[in-house]
């Protein structure tokens, strides 16, 4: 039985990143137990951060509380103390539970448990305009000197650059997917390549480039290898978010063709909600080959 952390293809290790801290789609959203397990196993994991009204950060994806918690209203309208009584919803039943919403400080408490391969992505869902210098200062205080294996990412290059200025050793990532996809839709494939090259060599100095798996395959169909462009610049590539439709049955033939193409492009990491099932299904396909 695998651990759902990675697969190996022709000597190339591809990490299976736990999207929103879930190894299985049935796992609770942003589960602290999975965080501790992943740190111990050396997993790559991801959480989303939203800025609060007092410039702290809650571990949430949505701008409003209703979809993920038993709370109401915008996250940015609440202060840190308001989240003490705010609980995550169960992802399957939608019922309220007893798991309070995690905050930024909760993510740094288990640093001594981290395996050398472990990596926790903090995906910033707000831009610099919302986070501001106060939010950057809060992140700096929380992350400075922490032995936790963090990588901070987001769509806002301005925010990533501000964090890079404050914490030069902090590992960083960028996600230009939306901008690249828009250029491809408008027929500007050459402009998309130019934009990607500018961003990966830009002031954010990203270690990882996060690109949707659909964009990677669409670009390949157009004769453009976005992974190769990133690798040539010394950057790693995360393909997000590939999740099996039926984790028990494993890969359908169509899914296997898509997944195999991502592996042939030599992506370094694949984000998924079904890491355990993906590892198991990959090994089954390889045995049957």
For 99-126, the DSSP string reads EEPPBGGGGGTTGGG--TT-EEEEEE-S
Mean pLDDT of the chain: 94
| Contact predicate 200/227, CB 8 Å | no
| Contact predicate 153/210, CB 8 Å | yes
pLDDT at 1 over 60: no
pLDDT at 34 over 60: yes
Q: 158, exposed or middle or buried, with CB in 10 Å at 0-12, 13-18, 19+? A: middle
Tell me the per-residue pLDDT of 46-101, one tens digit each, with 9 for 90 and over. 999 999 999 999 999 999 999 999 999 999 999 999 999 899 998 666 666 679 99
| 211 bridge partner residues | 239
| Contact predicate 29/76, CB 8 Å | no
> Distance (Å, rounded) from C-alpha 99 to C-alpha 225?
42
Strand runs labelled E in 19-56: 44-51
Taking the mean position of all CA atoms in its chain, how far away is CA 184? 23
Read off the pLDDT of each residue in 2-28 and give the average, rounded to a whole number.
95
| Contact predicate 192/151, CB 8 Å | no
Read off the pLDDT of each residue in 170-180 and give the average, rounded to a whole number.
95
Which residue has 């049935």 as its token pair?
Answer: 26
What pLDDT band is residue 112 in, cutting at 50, 70 and 90?
A: confident
pTM here is 0.95
Helix (H, G, I), strand (E, B) or coil at 17: strand
Give the pLDDT of residue 148. 80
- Pick the more confident residue, 266 or 110: 266
Q: How many CA atoms lie within 13 A of 91 on its CB side?
A: 12
| Contact predicate 250/281, CB 8 Å | yes
DSSP 239: E
Tell me how crowded residue 90 is: count the other CB atoms within 10 A of its CB.
13
Q: Where are the alpha helices (DSSP H) in 150-188?
A: 157-166, 177-185
Give the pLDDT of residue 93. 60
Helix (H, G, I), strand (E, B) or coil at 32: helix
What pLDDT band is residue 288 in, cutting at 50, 70 and 90?
A: confident
Give the pLDDT of residue 145. 83
Read off the pLDDT of each residue in 11-19 and give the average, rounded to a whole number.
97
Domains of the chain (ranges plus CATH)? 31-165 (3.20.20.190)
């Amino acid at each position: 039985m695998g651990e759902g952390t990675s697969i190996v293809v022709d000597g190339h290790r591809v990490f299976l990143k736990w999207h929103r801290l879930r190894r299985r789609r049935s796992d609770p959203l942003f589960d602290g137990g999975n965080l501790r397990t992943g740190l111990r196993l050396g997993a790559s994991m991801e959480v989303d951060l939203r800025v609060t009204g007092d410039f702290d950060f809650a571990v949430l994806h949505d701008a409003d509380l209703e979809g993920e918690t038993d709370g109401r209203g915008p996250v940015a309208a609440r202060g840190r103390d308001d989240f003490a009584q705010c609980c995550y919803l169960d992802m399957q039943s939608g019922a309220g539970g007893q798991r309070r919403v995690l905050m930024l400080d909760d993510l740094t408490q288990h640093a001594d448990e981290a395996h050398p391969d472990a990596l926790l992505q903090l995906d910033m869902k707000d831009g610099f305009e919302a986070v501001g210098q106060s939010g950057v200062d809060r992140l700096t205080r929380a992350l400075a000197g922490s032995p936790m294996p963090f990588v901070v990412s987001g769509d806002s290059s301005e925010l990533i650059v501000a964090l890079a200025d404050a914490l030069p050793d902090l590992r960083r990532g960028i996600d230009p997917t939306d901008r690249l996809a828009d250029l491809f839709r408008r027929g500007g494939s050459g402009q998309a390549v130019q934009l990607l090259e500018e961003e990966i060599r830009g002031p954010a100095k990203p270690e990882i480039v996060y690109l949707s798996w659909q964009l990677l395959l669409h670009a390949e169909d157009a004769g453009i290898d976005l992974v190769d462009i990133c690798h040539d610049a010394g950057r790693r590539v995360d393909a997000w978010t590939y999740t099996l439709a039926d984790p028990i049955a494993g890969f359908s033939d169509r899914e296997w063709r898509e997944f195999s193409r991502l592996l042939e492009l030599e992506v370094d990491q694949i984000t998924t909600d079904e890491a355990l099932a993906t590892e198991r299904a990959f090994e089954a396909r390889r045995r049957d080959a």
